[in-house]
Structure 1
Amino acid sequence: MGEIERASDRGDDPDADLVRRIGQGDGQAAGTLVARKLPRLKALGARLLGDPQEAEDIAQEVFLRVWRHAAGWTPGAARFDTWMHRVALNLCYDRLRRRREAPLPEGWDAPDDRAGPDAGIETAGEQDRIAAALAALPDRQREAIVLTYYQELRNAEAAALMGIHVEALESLLSRGRRALRARLTEAGPNGDRR
């Protein structure tokens, strides 16, 4: 299993001072951390869960845990950002497990498909095709792609969060990219099957 990257291996943790201040009850530091981390945590949750509202719930729970545990944080063991991502991933996994265990109720509505932060880059149709192709991937491949491409984590960080070696992550990425390419090519530019 991969070890979570030590902050000392990368230099100082950029969030260490904020976390220390949050541990002392500084609400302004908490607001700064939320402003800095909220968009990425919501994007992670939305990509893994496919539901922006659930992603907001996940992010809120992460920040509640930050507030509760900041006073006990030990700098140098791991980057604080890595710990936050791990908490968010675990909360997403819990929700995904619950979904598999409970059937959807009758009359269930699909998640909100409004454009995300990358809307300026891709058209709505392309976003839908990519989201559908991403959702069709096996969980671990989807997780590897979301962490490296959407969360912009380095391979070592993503592997540590997933609890695997970098080589295993790279294998998941390779298989995931091939599957995405095949699915997107198969669907054609308008989403029509060729």
Structure 2
Amino acid sequence: MIRREKIDLHPVENESQSDPDADLLRRVAAGDEVAMRALVAAKLPRLLALAQRMLGDRAEAEDVAQETFLRIWKQASRWQTGRAKFDSWAHRVALNLCYDRLRKRRDVITDDLPEQIDPGPLPDAGLTENSDSRRVELALQNLAPRQREAIILVYYQELSNREAASVMAVSVDALESLLSRGRRMLQSLLLGDGDDE
């Protein structure tokens, strides 16, 4: 079961390290729209990238990012500095929203079969995307969700193992196990794809 953003995340290990977002978040909690715009400008690229990698769809990722910031705006006054870093909480909110969307995809039942889409690349795909990076993105989508989440948080979002474990609400050892399995599966998928060409 995935935990919701209202949970207490693991306390920050060294409380003398202040949360770099604390002042901005206090201003957002007071209703400061300029502070909210600054927070969106600072966090949007990373949260959007996280959602796009989790969902594999830009439009859905934009919806997740928007909903994440809406929740931040509404819940900023309840934020307690020192319990966990704000960035960790924001990542958890975005991940929960991604998992909600992934569940809805899986739960959709219909009598009509969807129109089959050609799985091949679009004619202009080579003009806009690097084929290796596209292969990695497709391989990421084929990982187990928790492995994908761990890899995205550590390698793409550049969170430390401790921060990523906190976001995922797992121990550092469990995170490292997910990373190890995820890397092996990625390697298998990418080498397997290479053999088919």
TM-score, with length taken from structure 2: 0.83
2:44 to 38, 43, 57: 38
Q: Which residue of 1 aligns with 2:86?
A: 80
Kindly tell me: are residues 135 and 182 of structure 1, through their superposed partners in 2, closer, same or farther at Cα, counting changes over 3 Å?
Answer: same
Gaps of 5+ in 1: 115-122
Q: Which residue of 1 aligns with 2:154?
A: 148
**1:193 aligned to 2:192?**
no
Contact 2:50 2:157 (8 Å CA) reproduced: yes
Q: Which residue of 1 aligns with 2:5?
A: none
**1:100 aligned to 2:88?**
no
CA distance in 2, matches of 1:7, 1:17: 20
**1:67 aligned to 2:70?**
no
Q: Percent identity?
A: 53
Give the letter aligned to residue 183 of structure 1: L
- Other structure's SS at 1:75 match: coil
Deviation of 1:107 after TM superposition, in Å, equals 3.8
Task: Show structure 1 runs of 4+ deviating over 4 A.
Answer: none
Kindly tell me: are residues 103 and 193 of structure 1, through their superposed partners in 2, closer, same or farther at Cα, counting changes over 3 Å?
Answer: farther
Contact 2:9 2:83 (8 Å CA) reproduced: no
Deviation of 1:9 after TM superposition, in Å, equals 3.5
Give the letter aligned to residue 81 of structure 1: D
Count residues in correspondence: 181
- Other structure's SS at 1:68 match: helix
CA distance in 1, matches of 2:9, 2:44: 25
Q: Which residue of 2 aligns with 1:89?
A: 95
TM-score, with length taken from structure 1: 0.85
- Could you list the per-position Cα deviations for residues 20-54 of structure 1 after superposition, in whole angstroms to 9, with x for gaps in the alignment? 00111111111110000000000010000110111
Matches of residues 116-131 of structure 1 in structure 2 within 5 Å? 124-131=130-137
Kindly tell me: are residues 99 and 45 of structure 1, through their superposed partners in 2, closer, same or farther at Cα, counting changes over 3 Å?
Answer: same
Q: Which residue of 2 aligns with 1:170?
A: 176
Deviation of 1:186 after TM superposition, in Å, equals 2.1
Kindly tell me: are residues 100 and 176 of structure 1, through their superposed partners in 2, closer, same or farther at Cα, counting changes over 3 Å?
Answer: same
